[in-house]
Amino acid sequence: MSWTSLPIFPFLIALYLSINGAMSRKLSPSGAITAFAVGFVVMATHVRAIGVSLIVFYLLGSRATKQGKQRKAQLEAGHHGAGYRTGWQVLCNTLAVFVACVIWSMKFTSHAFPYSLLARAVHVPRGLDTYDSDNWCPTSPAVADGLTRALFFATLGCVFAENNTGAILTHNIGTSSQFACCLGDTLASELGILSTSPPILITTLKPVPAGTNGAISVGGTLASAVGGCIIGLTQFASLVVENSVCRAEWATLLPTLLGWGGAAGILGSMLDSLLGATLQRTRYSADKKWILQDEAIPEKNESIKVISGINILTNNQVNLVSSVLTAFVVAALA
């Protein structure tokens, strides 16, 4: 193995993003280490469209978070303006895409570093379906009984999902259905809260305070769809540049990725909202007129009422469950 075959650029980009997150205090030390590890694995995957989607997700998610940060601080007690995601929070939002990328790479590029190290450790033989950008497209249903297509669309399902009270999503790293779901839900969470009209609870369709777990709005739902479509379009553009077979199939590839990207964005956001409305408790301060996040502690004698949900899942756990479910659903149906 020569040095030219090493994933140097994925290493440097993942290192830069994780250091940037730590220096700006959007990631804790454990969050930065986890973000680097996940980011490197995702961007080292030989389907470069996945890594490109990660970068686009990061940039757009950062911009959306910046737009909604001030408003969220006014509506949510315990909102951390600087983010400061921990390693556990990053992992909850990226587990599905991380696993999908590892399985895809072990199956189709087990000869390539860093997956070659793991392949030797678990004795994975080099298969007949080794990836070649001139031989087959990663979205092909004919390769390995559709496994490559399922794993690719799982990345279009959702790296991490945040409901309408979610904290900053900027430095969570995830893949395709995962990226679409996550960017869609990021935009819904960060921009939907800017709406001037009150959102409604997904289970009752009754108006609730902005920031309520499980609250949805027309603007937020549209943002979810747009975010998913952006990821689908990004992956399309990258695939037609890097893969000659995908380029020849562009007429069918474009509507497929756009359609499933938009669907993943909406599905991930709706699943996240449903879980947030039922299995995550939302507390509201009648005195201060704001939502208390999971870790927020009310003041003595402060009037608190539960708007929705029961106290089973935390925000991180909701993100984990919704992102994994979205990835499975999109992988199975696409």
Contact between 237 and 295 under an 8 Å Cβ cutoff? The reply is no
Q: What is the spatial distance between Cα 50 and Cα 100, in angstroms, rounded to a whole number?
A: 11
Q: Of the candidates 153, 156, 158, 152, which has an alpha carbon nearest to the alpha carbon of residue 172?
A: 158
Take residue 58 and report the two structure tokens written for it: 């990061």
Instruction: Please state the pTM of the whole predicted model.
Output: 0.83
Contact between 208 and 201 under an 8 Å Cβ cutoff? The reply is yes
The DSSP call for residue 126 is: P
Helix orientation angle between 250-278 and 315-333, rounded to the nearest 10 degrees: 150
Residue-by-residue pLDDT tens, the chain, 334 positions: 555 568 899 999 999 989 988 898 878 899 899 989 999 999 999 999 998 888 887 777 666 655 555 555 555 555 555 456 788 888 887 888 899 999 999 899 988 888 888 777 777 666 668 898 999 999 999 999 999 999 999 887 654 344 333 332 333 333 344 444 555 455 555 555 555 678 899 999 999 988 888 888 887 788 778 888 888 899 999 999 999 999 999 999 999 999 998 888 888 888 988 999 999 999 998 888 888 877 778 888 888 899 999 999 988 898 888 888 888 998 999 8
Contact between 256 and 209 under an 8 Å Cβ cutoff? The reply is no
Q: Of the candidates 9, 8, 182, 223, which has an alpha carbon nearest to the alpha carbon of residue 95?
A: 182
How many angstroms separate the most distant Cα atoms in the chain?
68
Take residue 121 and report the two structure tokens written for it: 């450790």
Contact between 282 and 318 under an 8 Å Cβ cutoff? The reply is no
Those residues with Cβ within 8 angstroms of residue 276's Cβ, 6 or more apart along the chain or in another chain: 163, 164, 165, 213, 214, 282, 309, 315, 318
Q: What is the dihedral of CA 214, 218, 220, 222, to 10 degrees?
A: 130
Q: What is the spatial distance between Cα 150 and Cα 96, in angstroms, rounded to a whole number?
A: 13
The DSSP call for residue 284 is: E
Work out the burial of residue 321: count CB atoms within 10 Å of its CB; fewer than 13 is exposed, 13-18 middle, 19 or more buried.
middle
